[in-house]
Structure 1
Amino acid sequence: MLQIPLWKRVVILGLCLLGILLALPNAFYTRVETHNDAVSAIETLGSTPEREADAGLWPSFLPATLVNLGLDLRGGAHLLAEVHVEDVYVDRMDTTWPDVRDALVAIRDQVGFVERLEAAAPGTLSLRIQNADAMPAALEAVRALAQPVVSLSGIGAQDLVVTGQGSTLTVELSPEEKLATDDRTVRQALEIIRRRIDEVGTREPTIQRQGEDRILIQVPGVGSAEELKGIIGTTARLTFHPVVSASATADTRTSAGQLLVQDIDEEAVWYVLESAAILSGEDLKTAQPGFDQNGQPSVTLSFNGHGAQVFGRFTSENVGALFATVLDDKVITAPQIREPITGGQAQITGNFTVESSTDLAVLLRAGALPAELTFLEERTISPGLGQDSIEAGRIAAVVGFVAVIVFMALSYGLFGIFANIALIVNLSMLLGVLSAFGATLTLPGIAGIVLTMGMAVDANVLVFERIREELKTAKGPSRAIELGYQRALSAIIDANITTFITSLILFLLGSGPVKGFAVTLMVGIVTSVFTAIWLTRLLVVIWFERRRPRTIEV
């Protein structure tokens, strides 16, 4: 007999109502989006009457999650960036130089004086020792600084290759360490780009690695590619260097281990700095915009434990010296150390505006890009083009939906109407699940939804055709309906599992639009199986219990 326990009925209807409730905000997309933006602004920037009014556009007790629109539907910016991984080799050698120097100073009685030379190639460290006969001892001392490569592909290898010829000693990264460094650099750049974009509140960006040293960036809702480049294009590499001297000319000669850097505001002022930084942006704990003692905009820095210790020790030992703050190869400020700074905090001052100090704080909080980016491809998709895509997708979905509704009603009568009700609930649950997970809907995703509609009624077609067959042999309509659902179940499960596996492969191996199609198709398969097997059966059982027909027509 057709029987569904009360608890199952409650669960089925409860899940359907939950799906409809989660999908409801998408019917009021603009209003809910304005509400969400206002709530986020109130939490971060404080309350204003305008923000409170916008937050009141949607009831707080209702779900407010939306299906995010992808780049092809919303418009936005597309960038393909190449990471200059070789830049990291140069920085690595600069930070290695003090350790190499100290190791050779420890055996000065053998090697004599040590002088750093101009590198023969980028990413190498060259130096000359006074006593060429002591080269074996020098090689041994420097090779002791090498560490194992932290990489699965570099197991057993060392990170430094040290060679000597005559009185010249050369240090460079090993091939295994270069591969590991390249991978870490691109991964770090990927994460920092994501953090910078998240800081400015953009919705559902697509940030993916492509190849060995390229990153694909797609951000819906951004006005142009130039605006997106402004968010992520600044390297924001913050370092602190001792000042050797100041000069009014760019022709000032520097020695090995020194840098000639221009002042960011005064183009006629140049500083000779020690190339080895005392601290870097990696030692920052946080950065916040503020005001200095004169009421001018500034940026307040807080160092982590290691940074605070190094900063306090250096300022204690160098009272009266100049200390330069360098951002992207420009000196922001070079004040004199008047007293030890041991509190773990510092302040960057300069010709800032409130907006520029806020932007700098955002960049520093997100972290410094480990290497420079070159934008190989940039494209802006206008909101108008996105709206055209939405309209085209909407027309396709409506046409497909109406065609399926009419076909089912004409083919199966009342049972077809039950299938149509389940189809409407299925689409609502699909949007509800996508909203709950914050998924991004793309134009291929709309194609996945259209395909889901056909697959949703396909399960009902199998059931209804099976019921027709059982009516010819079964004893009564109740038994025919029960056997129809039981014997069609295996075919429904098999068909949907194979499609789900195919969608999963597309999701794992595909990228961009392919993933969007696969996500909507996978979610649609789950919701369509649920509505076809459980919801339509519940509707048929409720109808059968009320009418008790002696015969049925499918």
Structure 2
Amino acid sequence: MNRYPLWKNLLILGVILASLFLAWPNLYSQDPSIEITAARGAEVTEASAVEIKAALENAKVPLKRIDTLDGGKLLVRLTTPGDQLKGQEAIEQTLSERYRTALTQSADLPRWMRAVGLEPMSLGLDLRGGIHVVIDVDMEAALDQALERYIGDIRSQLREDKANYLSVTRDGANLTIKFTDAAGRDQGEKILRREFRDLQIQTSETDGQFELKAGLPEAEQKQIKDFALEQNITTLRNRVNALGVAEPSIARQGERRIVVQLPGAQDPGRLKEILGATATLEYRLVDTEGSVSDAVAGRPPMGSKLYYERDGKPILLKRRVIVTGDQITDASAGFDGQSGTPAVFVNLDGQGARRMRDVTTENVGKPMAVVFIENRTTTKMVDGEPVKSTRKVEEVFSVATIREPFGRRFQTTGLDSSNEAHNTALLLRSGALAAPIEIVEERTIGPSLGQDNIDQGLLSVTIGFILVVIFMGIYYRVFGLIANLVLLLNLVMIIAVLGMLGATLTMPGIAGMVLTIGMAVDANVLIFERIREEVRIGNSPQASIAAGYEKALSSIIDANVTTLIAALMLFSFGTGPVKGFAVTLTIGLITSMFTAITCSRAAINLLYGGKRLKSLPV
């Protein structure tokens, strides 16, 4: 009686060993580190590590070691957060043009662990330190900009089709187009319904004036707002990447807000500079007649300018700009109708469309380039004082051949994949923010405060665990010691599952762990009290063990399922910290049921199963 079959014991042992194996990486310390990547046109080599080491030695920054990562990256391991900041400053001052730095924390794992894909749990912003910013997007301004574009496009289209109109004005979210007579209004209605299908068109005639009313339907307004929010997220992500922070988190919150979390970053002023930076696009013709080599040597032809593509290849472009990024009203990814290859479709406003049509008509068969322009601000320490400098970055994003004249809407082909086409469309839209932004909340958590949170969280878990261990050992004797053992196993399994899922541990997550300790031991208390009750009514020790587990099972399931439902609701409707608590609590509930019911029963079976017992140490 009270024996598990061999396969069941082996299965439980396998789960325990797997949990210990997956949780093992969390025993290793987290080193303050600097991730080094090469800028465009450069390459990370063994010589790069030598240069970085020399720069740190000159700055008197103690170095632990330099590791080589996949993807052509270097990881500079240091000893303290202070050395990490000094090391980043030294590397940027010495090698800033060829390398980019990102602050991060990296566990000092053996090579074989990394080879098999073992990684410790990721630490959240409150444990790791960094910057948390909440940004509000002005959706009303996004609608205003959309309506202003429609006004310009409608005027251009009516003039192009030679419609007799008097004016195009705006009244709130509606546009009013006035005509000289009924025939002109009817012609204008046909033009608008053909070219602007997204608008709701109505005819009216008041005080002898012939008018058309055009408005944006609710669905179109929502699409404009969603587009503005998506474009701003893309723009902010591109800008934050230039800040040099590993694993940034930029996510949508509600209908108009964006949450930016930068683990490891400690300079909110620099963050604001990046978020407020300006960026734009320019379309230029390629100079196919001039000499690129002469331009590289400093002798560009008259009317041309030397640029570089993203892979570092030089290219000669005409100085005359065709259109700029602020004239792009939309960009989307799709497929070419004839060849079926990935393509990017771009829409221009009225002025840009006319300019593009004139230029492309005169230059069919010639290449045209897209230039990405951004003003990047950097801060360097000079004599202990921060000195800011701004430099203009210009790089050729893509080059395509003009197949035929085009104007307001055109496409760019020659892309390698649909994913590249999607990213290209986002980049074309992310040259500038689609709507103004405002920082409504800002929090900075220092590395020392993050370490304090870790220490306090570990202390709370340790104290809670020790108190439970003492109580269970005194009150339930040997059975209590078994409960303590499975309680420790439960914590190991929670850590293993969090690491396996790639979840991020936060302070609310630690709170969920502490609560799980109480929930896990509660199941054992129900089982042991039921066993005591069976012994008191005269059942044999073996029968009491079996009855205790069987009769307590329904109560344990009911208690855990109701708590699990609450945790799922917290995860469904809560925000980031609440979700972190819910995830940890959910995992803890599942593992506690397994350890309290199955693992403790297996341990008791191994100790007392199949034996003649006069009493139980419970």
Give the alignment's TM-score, normalised by structure 2.
0.64
- Distance in 1, matches of 2:132 and 2:325, equals 37
What residue is the counterpart of 2:598 in the other structure? 534
- Once the two structures are superposed, the pairs formed by residues 399-478 of structure 1 within 5 Å of their partners are 399-473=463-537, 475-478=539-542
Given the alignment of the two structures, is residue 77 of structure 1 paired with residue 131 of structure 2, yes or no? yes
Instruction: Give distance in 1, aligned partners of 2:24 and 2:446.
Output: 27
Q: How far apart, in 1, do the equivalents of 2:480 and 2:551 lie?
A: 19
Is the aligned partner of 1:489 residue 2:553? yes
Q: Deviations over 1:462-519 (max 9, x none)?
A: 1111111112345432221111110110111111111111112222222132222222
CA change 1:364–1:184 in 2 (3 A) is: closer
Measure, in 1, the Cα distance between the counterparts of 2:506 and 2:276: 26
**How far apart are 1:147 and its partner, in Å?**
3.4
Structure 2 equivalent of residue 304 of structure 1: 343
> Which residue pairs with 1:138 in the alignment?
188
Checking the alignment, whether the CA contact within 8 Å between 1:316 and 1:340 is kept in structure 2 is no
**Which residue of 263, 266, 269 maps to 1:226?**
269
Shift of 1:28: 0.9
Question: For residues 394 and 30 of structure 2, what CA distance do their matches in structure 1 show?
Answer: 45
Q: Displacement of 1:425 after TM fit?
A: 0.8
- Which stretch has the larger CA shift, 161-170 or 453-462? 161-170
Partner of 2:450: 386
Cα distance 1:541–1:480, how it changes in 2: closer, same or farther (>3 A)?
Answer: same
Higher strand share: 2
Amino acid at match of 1:406: I
d(CA) in 1 for partners of 2:594 and 2:111?
Answer: 30
CA distance in 1: counterparts of 2:125 and 2:204, whole angstroms: 51
Change (3 A) 1:365 1:546: farther
In structure 1, what is the equivalent of residue 220 of structure 2? 177
Q: Deviations over 1:234-259 (max 9, x none)?
A: 464535489xxxxxxxxxxxxxxxxx
| Structure 1, unaligned runs of 5 or more | 149-157, 243-269, 286-301, 347-360
| Distance in 2, Cα, partners of 1:399 & 1:417 | 17
- Counterpart residue number, 1:89: 143
Distance 1:476 1:365 in 2: 78
Q: 1:508 to 1:370 in 2, by over 3 A?
A: same
Matched, 1:104 2:158: yes
Where structure 2 has 5 or more consecutive residues not aligned to the other structure, the ranges are: 50-65, 70-74, 76-107, 286-318, 335-340, 348-352, 377-391, 404-411, 416-423
Contact 2:130–2:263 under 8 Å retained in 1: yes
User: Structure 1 residues 496 and 135 mapped into 2: Cα distance closer, same or farther (>3 Å)?
Assistant: same
Distance in 1 separating the partners of 2:374 and 2:180: 36
List per-residue Cα deviations over 1:216-270 (Å, max 9, x = no partner): 323322223334445554464535489xxxxxxxxxxxxxxxxxxxxxxxxxxx9
Structure 1 residues 550 and 233: alpha-carbon distance in aligned structure 2, compared to 1, 3 A threshold: farther
Question: Amino acid of the residue matched to residue 282 of structure 1?
Answer: A
**Counterpart for residue 356 of structure 1:** none
Q: Indicate the residue corresponding to 2:11 in structure 1.
A: 11
Higher helix share: 1
Does structure 1 conserve the Cα–Cα contact (< 8 Å) formed by 2:373 and 2:395? Answer: no
Whole-Å separation in 2 of the counterparts to 1:23 and 1:519? 17
Q: CA deviation at 1:421?
A: 0.9
TM-score when normalising by structure 1: 0.71
Which residue in the other structure is 2:294 paired with?
Answer: none
Superposed CA RMSD in Å reads 4.8
Cα 1:186–1:276 change in 2 (3 A) is: closer
Alpha carbons of 1:61 and 1:329: their partners in 2 closer, same or farther (altered >3 Å)? closer
CA distance in 2, matches of 1:194, 1:323: 24
CA distance in 2, matches of 1:323, 1:132: 45
| Residues 156-167 of structure 1: pairs in structure 2 closer than 5 A | 166=209
Alignment-derived partner of residue 23 in structure 1: 23
Instruction: Report Cα offsets for 1:146-173 as digits up to 9, x if no partner.
Output: 436xxxxxxxxx5567878747767553
- Residue aligned with 1:304, SS: strand
Q: Distance in 2 between matches of 1:129 and 1:107?
A: 14
Q: State yes or no: 1:510 paired with 2:564.
A: no
d(CA) in 2 for partners of 1:162 and 1:316?
37
Aligned length: 476
Query: Residue type matched to 1:79 in 2?
Result: V
Please give the per-residue CA displacement for 1:100-156, whole angstroms capped at 9, x wherever unaligned.
457635763xx34x6876x657987676756676224323432444436xxxxxxxx
**Which structure 2 residues correspond to residues 181-196 of structure 1 after superposition, within 5 A?**
181-190=224-233, 193=236
